[in-house]
Amino acid sequence: MTDREAFQRTYGIIGQSPEMQEIVDVIRQVAPTDITVLISGESGTGKEIVAKAIHGASKRAQQIMVSVNCGAIPEGLIESELFGHEKGAFTSASDMRRGYFEIADGGTILLDEIGEMPLATQVKLLRVLESGEFMRVGSSEARRTDVRVLAATNKLLEYEVQQKHFRPDLYFRLRSVNIHLPPLRNRKEDIPALVEQFVKETTEKNKIQFGGFNNNATELLMSYHWPGNIRELRNAIESMLVLERGKRLDEHDVRKYLHEKTQVTTDRNLPVVSNRTVEQAERELIYRALVELKSNIIEMKELLEGRLSGTNLQNSNHTQSQNGNGVLTMDEMERRMVATALDRHKGNRRNAARELNISERTLYRKIKDYGLQ
């Protein structure tokens, strides 16, 4: 067993796809440091499991890890939840209360759904990140805390920044290390091992027999789009094993437990949902990749400008270049993305389509639509 496999086993992270291997390597590298990590990815892709592994493999492992769901706390209460409050700070504050940053002192805090954090609170978070200092609500005394911050989001934070819902300085601070979990449909080779694990867990926990999947059932599990990612897979396996107890499952049995209408196709590369949804999903993927690319370029530009003028990247103001850039239309971004991929693969459409994570058929259509060849 490799070190990586041993690590995955310790933290229950299943998956040998190149994407997962790379993610596990990054986790192992950043875990022992105190660096802030932004964990992004669709719902159910494993952000929490990654956060736990980072904490578990850190020097803070014996200390507390506090998870805060920023989207679940009412806006008016979030600051007192995070930073605490003094007695009498507001009408219902009958006692002093320590906040999560104080409670997590010495350990790790996971700020889940960070994209939901109100702008006013974001300023205070930035201060803790930069100086370790915070103030309880109703107090002007600065307190110190030694907390390792992890943040998770299933929103595209870059987009939130553009919409002025998220502070660019906090965004740049958070994304210095970004672990992005790809959706399950983009790493289908991980499905068999996940299924095997969830079957094992379910049969052991419920003390039930499992009659196996026939070929078509397996095919369906592999070709399904898994919009709810690994969580959906886990729930589906658990439900079908419990409710179809002991039976050998075919594709009709399996389909009952999937949320979307699906059909088995012979082409496994094509997500098997209605065409409109595929189109949307592909657009979103391309858009995400472009936004990522654009922000990398902006960062590089800032870095160079910072170098030239001798200023520090961390202190520079990113707002200007975010807004100052002419905004590209979606079509134009997509056209450029397709053209770049084709260039990179010297016109090889199969490879370009694979890189763009779209079917070859869709790539043909886009080449035609944009008059690229």
Ligand X SMILES: Nc1ncnc2c1ncn2[C@@H]1O[C@H](COP(=O)(O)OP(=O)(O)OP(=O)(O)O)[C@@H](O)[C@H]1O
Q: Is the CB of residue 43 less than 8 Å from the CB of residue 229? A: yes
225 binds, among ligand X, Mg ion, none (CB under 5 to 8 A by kind): none
Tell me which stretch binds Mg ion (CB under 5 A): 48-56, 172-180, 249-257, 272-280: 48-56
State the minimum distance, in angstroms, from the CB of residue 188 to ligand X.
13
State the minimum distance, in angstroms, from the CB of residue 48 to Mg ion.
4
Quote the CA–CA distance of 272 and 202 in Å, as a whole number. Answer: 27
Q: Is the CB of residue 217 less than 8 Å from the CB of residue 253? A: yes
> Is 155 a residue that touches ligand X (CB under 6 A)?
no
State the minimum distance, in angstroms, from the CB of residue 198 to ligand X.
8
Taking residue 232's Cβ as centre, other Cβ atoms within 10 Å add up to 20
State the minimum distance, in angstroms, from the CB of residue 13 to Mg ion.
14
**Looking at the DSSP assignment, which residues form a beta bridge with residue 148?**
108
Q: Is the CB of residue 334 less than 8 Å from the CB of residue 284? A: no
Q: Is the CB of residue 78 less than 8 Å from the CB of residue 118? A: yes
Phi first, then psi: what are they for 148, rounded to 5°?
-90, 125
Phi first, then psi: what are they for 225, rounded to 5°?
-80, -20
157 binds, among ligand X, Mg ion, none (CB under 5 to 8 A by kind): none
Q: What is the DSSP letter of 274?
A: -
Tell me which stretch binds ligand X (CB under 6 A): 44-52, 135-143, 169-177, 272-280: 44-52
> Is 48 a residue that touches Mg ion (CB under 5 A)?
yes
Tell me which stretch binds Mg ion (CB under 5 A): 44-52, 80-88, 302-310, 328-336: 44-52
User: For residue 106, what are its two tokens?
Assistant: 């010495």
State the minimum distance, in angstroms, from the CB of residue 274 to ligand X.
24
Tell me which stretch binds ligand X (CB under 6 A): 7-15, 168-176, 251-259, 364-372: 7-15
> Is 41 a residue that touches ligand X (CB under 6 A)?
yes
Q: Is the CB of residue 161 less than 8 Å from the CB of residue 169? A: no
Which one among 33, 43, 296, 373 touches ligand X, defined by CB under 6 A?
Answer: 43
Quote the CA–CA distance of 164 and 160 in Å, as a whole number. Answer: 6
Q: What residue type is assigned to position 128 of the chain?
A: V
> Is 44 a residue that touches ligand X (CB under 6 A)?
yes
Which helix (H) or strand (E) segment holds residue 149: the answer is: strand 148-153
State the minimum distance, in angstroms, from the CB of residue 327 to ligand X.
28
> Is 234 a residue that touches ligand X (CB under 6 A)?
yes
Q: Is the CB of residue 238 less than 8 Å from the CB of residue 202? A: yes
> Is 45 a residue that touches ligand X (CB under 6 A)?
yes
User: For residue 101, what are its two tokens?
Assistant: 């940053």
Provide the 3-class DSSP secondary structure of residue 371.
Answer: coil
> Is 230 a residue that touches ligand X (CB under 6 A)?
yes
Quote the CA–CA distance of 281 and 302 in Å, as a whole number. Answer: 31
Tell me which stretch binds Mg ion (CB under 5 A): 42-50, 86-94, 223-231, 361-369: 42-50
Phi first, then psi: what are they for 152, rounded to 5°?
-130, 150
> Is 47 a residue that touches ligand X (CB under 6 A)?
yes
Kindly state the number of chain residues that form the binding site for Mg ion, as judged by CB under 5 A: 2
Tell me which stretch binds ligand X (CB under 6 A): 40-48, 89-97, 116-124, 126-134: 40-48
Which one among 24, 46, 53, 337 touches ligand X, defined by CB under 6 A?
Answer: 46
> Interface residues with ligand X (CB under 6 A)?
12-15, 41, 43-49, 154, 230-231, 234
> Interface residues with Mg ion (CB under 5 A)?
47-48
